[in-house]
C-alpha cells in the first residue's frame, strides 16, 4: 500500500478512521482487503503504534481527519445526487401525468363532437 489516500486505499483507511483504534486481527476480520494491503498499511507511516506490544494501532491524526472529511464530502455529494434524481423523476411523472390528462380530455372532446 502506498502512503497516499488513493481510491484503492480509501476503503481500508475509512475502516481504520472509523475504528480509531485497531489491531491486525480486527482488520483481518472486518476489512474486505487483501492481507498484503493490511500488512502494508501497518508497516506504513500512515499508522502509529499505540504501545510497544505491537498490537494496537491508530491512523495518524492528519490522515484520519482527511479520510473522515472525504467520507463526509462523498456522502453529501451522494445525497445531492439522490435529491436531484428524485426531482427529475417527479418532474417526469408530472409531465407524463399532464400529457395523459390532456390526451384524455382531447379524446373526450372528440367523442362529444
* pLDDT value at residue 28: 87
Residue-level pLDDT, tens digit, the chain, 113 residues:
444 555 557 889 988 998 888 988 888 888 888 889 999 999 999 999 987 776 899 999 999 999 888 888 777 777 777 787 787 777 777 777 777 776 677 666 666 65
* pLDDT value at residue 2: 46
Query: Domain ranges in the chain?
Result: 7-85
Tens digits of per-residue pLDDT, 34-63? 889 999 999 999 999 987 776 899 999 999
pTM (predicted TM-score): 0.61
Q: For residue 84, what are the CA distances in angstroms to 58, 88, 91, 96?
A: 37, 6, 11, 18
Classified by CATH at the fold level, domain 7-85 comes out as: Arc Repressor Mutant, subunit A (1.10.10)
Query: DSSP letter string over the chain?
Result: --SS--HHHHHHHHHHHHHSSB-HHHHHHH--S-HHHHHHHHHSTTEEE-STTS--EEE-HHHHHHHHHHHHHHHHHHHHHHHHHHHHHHHHHHHHHHHHHHHHHHHHHHHH-
Amino acid at each position: 500500500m502506498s502512503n497516499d489516500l488513493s481510491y484503492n486505499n480509501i476503503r481500508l483507511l475509512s475502516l481504520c478512521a472509523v475504528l480509531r483504534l485497531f489491531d491486525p486481527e480486527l482488520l483481518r476480520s472486518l476489512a474486505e482487503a487483501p492481507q498484503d494491503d493490511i500488512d502494508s498499511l501497518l508497516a506504513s507511516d500512515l499508522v502509529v503504534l499505540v504501545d510497544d506490544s505491537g498490537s494496537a494501532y491508530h491512523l495518524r491524526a492528519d490522515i484520519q481527519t482527511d479520510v473522515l472529511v472525504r467520507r463526509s464530502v462523498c456522502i453529501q455529494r451522494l445525497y445531492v445526487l439522490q435529491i436531484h434524481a428524485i426531482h427529475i423523476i417527479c418532474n417526469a411523472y408530472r409531465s407524463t401525468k399532464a400529457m395523459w390528462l390532456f390526451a384524455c380530455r382531447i379524446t373526450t372532446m372528440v367523442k362529444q363532437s
